Chains A and B, each alone.
Chain A
Amino acid sequence: MNLKELKELIEMLKDTDISEVEIERSGVKVRLRKGGDVAFHPSMPRMEYPPAAIVAPAVSEAHAPSAPAERPSEPAKSTQIKVTSPIVGTFYRSSSPDKPSYVEVGDTVKKGQVLCIIEAMKLMNEIESESTGKIVQILVDNGHPVEYGQPLFVIEPA
């Protein structure tokens, strides 16, 4: 698999409801997870292209597969908190299209800090963090619909 194919795969994934896909080809296994990080299977050979081409900041870290935070494909540890949507609506990562996102993966957030907005019929619901900690994953893309109870963020409590 080359860089172009991987890029296409990421693009395709963006437009679907599939949140995670794992592909194995000629001894290289790639797992893509939407809204979160791109994970390389630790046991597989390292791929030969610049990591910056892939999207998530975690990619560059994935070359050193020992630290736990760099393996998001692992099951979430029990201490991690999932922030879920209280309503059916549309997920926005910022207060308006020209504003920066409230939070990014890796950010430290405080209890009560706004993480995102869910909109349903011009009802804007600012979702606040229930605990102080670090954003480990953002599970939904900006502008995408979310269901009631759908996980939006994974937070590692401080």
Chain B
Amino acid sequence: MTCCTGSGFLEIMYKERILKLLRASGTDYLSGAQLASTMGISRTMVWKHIKALEREGFGIEAVPSRGYRIITVPDLFRADDIRRGLGTRIFGREIHLLPEVASTNTLAMELAARGAPEGTVVLAEAQTAGKGRLGRKWISPRGNIYVSAVLRPPVPAYKAPLLTLMAAVATAAAIRGAGGAPALIKWPNDILVAGRKVSGLLTEMSAEADRIRHIVLGIGIDVNMDPDLLPDEIRAITTTLAGETGQAIDRTELLRQLLRSLEHWYRVFLDDERRVLKEWESFNCTLGKRVAVSGQRELLEGLAEGIDREGRLVIRLDNGEARTVAAGDVTILKKI
């Protein structure tokens, strides 16, 4: 979500109270004036909170002179439903489910620092400060999946970046399994459907010297949200699973698949990371294409030739020189 950083606890409290009052009145209308006087806030503030609820997926009918009522409620996660038939031993061992959080990654990092076990999962219906790379925002309205998982892999820190490729493989496999959308991976770990981004991963690590203390895998998947909630420039390059498959996706089932898939590929990674790289290659839509990589000191353009054993992208520049990049934004260029 884009709004109100620093709005804090009070705002959320008012919003949740309005939700409660509207729910209590059922199919009857509640006027803005009634809400305002019950709450002790202005009608403008009531309107602002109604708008915020709409952004979270509530369908609210507003009729002049009568007031507001809820028509549709967003489908919400329930921890019991998620656990039912999950069958994992690591991922989802502990599930922290929140209606809204600043960032699932930040909370998971905090929980991990306080000793949360491997496989602890933080799941939120919405994020108010969802994170992307380098301070970028991950716009996070309701209707999607925002999940972060704590890992404590018994491998040296230098191998940790491979876990991001592992998570990409697991996510692509889960999307294919649950919704049938033909998900592909753009280096290093964006998930695309029909050339548009449907999922992004952000991993954070705390390490001392060569030893990993903990890692948090953050995965955002755009599932059922209304794409109109996104700014135009983002909407143009992204899509949702519902949009691609033409039907609403069962988020709980997709999440279960994701946790199972992560568990499977995490075990594969610990056993033989080369198998992860191989699977990544089979899902990738970057290699063999002409790409531009920005975010480094210079803009690199050339043929995406392969990935090395550490998962870094090898680009063959037009002058024949091979360059290896560990980070950057990759754009797949159209064939000339």
Which of B2-10, B115-123, B172-180, B207-215 forms part of the interface with chain A?
B207-215
Q: Is the CB of A143 within 8 A of B206?
A: no
B114 CB-CB contact with A under 8 Å: no
**A98 CA to B136 CA in the complex, in Å?**
10
Given A88-B312, A90-B296, A123 and B135 contact (CB-CB distance below 8 Å): no
In the complex, chain B residues 133-163 whose Cβ is within 8 Å of any chain A Cβ: 133-136, 157-158, 160-161, 163
A89, A124, A143 — most chain B CB neighbours (10 Å): A124
Q: Is the CB of B164 within 8 A of A123?
A: yes
B106 to chain A, nearest CB (A): 12
B281 CB-CB contact with A under 8 Å: no
Please report the total number of A residues contacting B with Cβ < 8 Å.
26
**In the complex, chain B residues whose CB is within 8 Å of the CB of A87:** 157-158, 160-161
Which of B28-36, B77-85, B197-205, B241-249 forms part of the interface with chain A?
B197-205
**A145 CA to B164 CA in the complex, in Å?**
18
Q: Is the CB of A96 within 8 A of B160?
A: no
Q: Is the CB of A125 within 8 A of B205?
A: yes
Main secondary structure of the interface of A (DSSP, over half): loop
Q: Is the CB of B157 within 8 A of A86?
A: yes
Q: Is the CB of A125 within 8 A of B164?
A: no
B217 to chain A, nearest CB (A): 9
**In the complex, chain A residues whose CB is within 8 Å of the CB of B202:** 122, 124
Q: Is the CB of B135 within 8 A of A124?
A: no
B92 CB-CB contact with A under 8 Å: no
- Closest residue on chain A to residue B206 by CB atoms: A126
Given A95-B135, A97-B135, A119 and B326 contact (CB-CB distance below 8 Å): yes
Q: Is the CB of B188 within 8 A of A121?
A: yes
29 contacts between A and B (CB under 8 A): A86-B210, A88-B161, A88-B310, A89-B327, A90-B295, A95-B134, A97-B134, A98-B135, A119-B327, A120-B311, A121-B164, A121-B189, A122-B203, A123-B164, A123-B203, A123-B205, A123-B215, A124-B202, A124-B205, A125-B205, A125-B207, A126-B204, A126-B205, A128-B206, A130-B209, A143-B295, A145-B296, A145-B325, A148-B158
